Chain A
Amino acid sequence: DAKTTQPTSMDCAEGRAANLPCNHSTISGNEYVYWYRQIHSQGPQYIIHGLKNNETNEMASLIITEDRKSSTLILPHATLRDTAVYYCIVRVDGTDSWGKFQFGAGTQVVVTP
């Protein structure tokens, strides 16, 4: 699976949009981009995923560049409860894969009042 690069940390003001970048320049055609987050030491929580089109759900939006070499997770109105480590993971979603996720260090997001 392709490697991802994320900033170590970022701060965000409560109520503002949080834009979390992720670089995955070696991504291949059958690899999806997944975003999970981990609040304190709880289990990772699924946020969103996509292949090449932009995606939106009730939690966030995912913007993937046309060349698929990078993506941005957008939390539209950050709240204090969004303080967490956010993981961008690239995973092959095909017949060769049994579905394991390989987590990196992620981005520590701190939302401040």
Chain B
Amino acid sequence: EPEVTQTPSHQVTQMGQEVILRCVPISNHLYFYWYRQILGQKVEFLVSFYNNEISEKSEIFDDQFSVERPDGSNFTLKIRSTKLEDSAMYFCASSAARVDIQYFGAGTRLSVL
């Protein structure tokens, strides 16, 4: 069964450093999403991406965040200058259509020290 894969599974970084979280969506999917979950809290929507553009973003997704589809298979989330409060699980998801089932990856645990 096709799946969304995320790397790395755990990323440790120092405050102020840039990090890039990587995702390989399901191959024929066109819509891509990032969510995050701070430990013990709800899963929160960050951004949706389609046709090489951000289609929707939340208040959390400020200028420190950016997304990119650098090639035909990867979808990345970059945090420019990490803060302690960015520590969370980050989930990538993809779907075949705009309002369709989203399939989630296993997540990347980001720890900012």
| Number of B interface residues in the complex (CB < 8 A) | 29
Q: Please determine whether B48 and A100 come into contact, CB atoms closer than 8 angstroms.
A: yes
Q: Is B65 an interface residue (CB 8 A)?
A: no
In the bound complex, residues from chain B placing their C-beta under 8 Å from that of A99 are: 31, 33, 48, 95, 98-100, 102
In the bound complex, residues from chain B placing their C-beta under 8 Å from that of A68 are: none
Q: How large is the interface on A (under 10, 10 to 19, 20 to 34, 35 or more residues)?
A: 20 to 34
In the bound complex, residues from chain A placing their C-beta under 8 Å from that of B56 are: 98, 100
Q: Is B104 an interface residue (CB 8 A)?
A: yes
- B60 → chain A closest CB, angstroms: 12
Q: Knowing A98-B50, A103-B42, A105-B42, say if A42 contacts B106 (CB, 8 Å).
A: yes
- A91 → chain B closest CB, angstroms: 7
Closest to B107 in A: A43
Closest to A43 in B: B104
Closest to A106 in B: B42
Q: Knowing A41-B107, A42-B107, A91-B99, say if A103 contacts B50 (CB, 8 Å).
A: no
In the bound complex, residues from chain B placing their C-beta under 8 Å from that of A105 are: 42
Q: Is A44 an interface residue (CB 8 A)?
A: yes
Q: Is B52 an interface residue (CB 8 A)?
A: no
- A27 → chain B closest CB, angstroms: 16
**A interface residues (Cβ-Cβ under 8 A, vs B):** 34, 38, 41-46, 49, 87, 91-94, 97-105
- Provide a sorted-by-A list of 12 A–B residue pairs whose CB atoms are within 8 angstroms: A41-B37, A44-B93, A46-B101, A46-B103, A49-B101, A87-B43, A99-B31, A99-B95, A99-B99, A100-B33, A100-B56, A103-B35
Given known contacts A46-B102, A99-B33, what 12 new A-B pairs fall within 8 Å (CB)? A42-B107, A43-B4, A43-B105, A43-B106, A44-B91, A44-B93, A91-B99, A94-B99, A98-B48, A99-B31, A100-B33, A100-B45
